[in-house]
Amino acid sequence: MNGDLHSHPRAHPHAIFRDWTAEMLVTELTDDDRKWVQERTELLFGGDFVVSRDEVHDPHRLPGYIATEGPERIGLVTYNLTGEDCEIVSIDSLCQFMGVGTLLLEKVEEVARAAGCRRLWAITTNDNLDAQRFLQKRGFVLTAVRLGSMSKIRLLKPNVPKVGYYGIPVRDEIELTKPLFSR
């Protein structure tokens, strides 16, 4: 998740709501998935790139994981490893509140630990209460708030909406970090 992360239209685009019955698989993102990742980024983040800590990232060019149920893709996560840090650049669950996000996050945490990272971090926006809840309940703590930074991001991404989830104005970036201690 990252910079602008995190703004999106008010309703989660193309979310699927239904009973969770079948088996879900989490597999490494392959070249066949990249076009879809790019499309999802555009839908969710108002452009096919995201900005975090003043850096531009293309999720569709990054490593990541895809969640599938049968032939259907139901979630994705992309990440960026830099030294002891691992950034969740984007995480996107098409079946919210059914465990998809948790499985994808756990997968990246596993990769980050294996790579010797000491921190997992992500950025969301002030309106994204679901993501803030999701991350804080999974060990992330607030480590920075960039007040008003979304105006600057809108210069690069004019499609980032002014009003986000729950009708909340999208103004600030919120950075959350999870320390990874060796087990």
Ligand X SMILES: CC(C)(COP(=O)(O)OP(=O)(O)OC[C@H]1O[C@@H](n2cnc3c(N)ncnc32)[C@H](O)[C@@H]1OP(=O)(O)O)[C@@H](O)C(=O)NCCC(=O)NCCS
Q: Which residues sit at the interface with ligand X, rule CB under 6 A?
A: 1, 5-6, 12, 20, 44, 91-93, 96-102, 122, 124, 128, 130-131, 133-134, 137
Give the contacts of 75 (CB within 8 A, at least 6 positions apart). Answer: 66, 67, 91, 92, 93, 94, 95, 100, 101, 103, 104
Q: In whole angstroms, how close is the CB of 131 to ligand X at the nearest point?
A: 4
Torsion of CA 79, 34, 159, 155, to 10 degrees: 60
In this complex, which beta carbon is closest to ligand X, that of residue 98 or of residue 170?
Answer: 98
In this complex, which beta carbon is closest to ligand X, that of residue 116 or of residue 159?
Answer: 159
Q: In whole angstroms, how close is the CB of 77 to ligand X at the nearest point?
A: 8
Q: In whole angstroms, how close is the CB of 137 to ligand X at the nearest point?
A: 4
Query: By Cβ distance, which residue is nearest to ligand X?
Result: 101
Q: What's the CA gap between 89 and 49, in Å, rounded?
A: 10
Q: In whole angstroms, how close is the CB of 93 to ligand X at the nearest point?
A: 3
In this complex, which beta carbon is closest to ligand X, that of residue 137 or of residue 182?
Answer: 137
In this complex, which beta carbon is closest to ligand X, that of residue 12 or of residue 182?
Answer: 12
Contact 92, 104 (CB under 8 A): no
What one-letter code names the amino acid at 172? D
Host H or E run for residue 103: helix 100-114
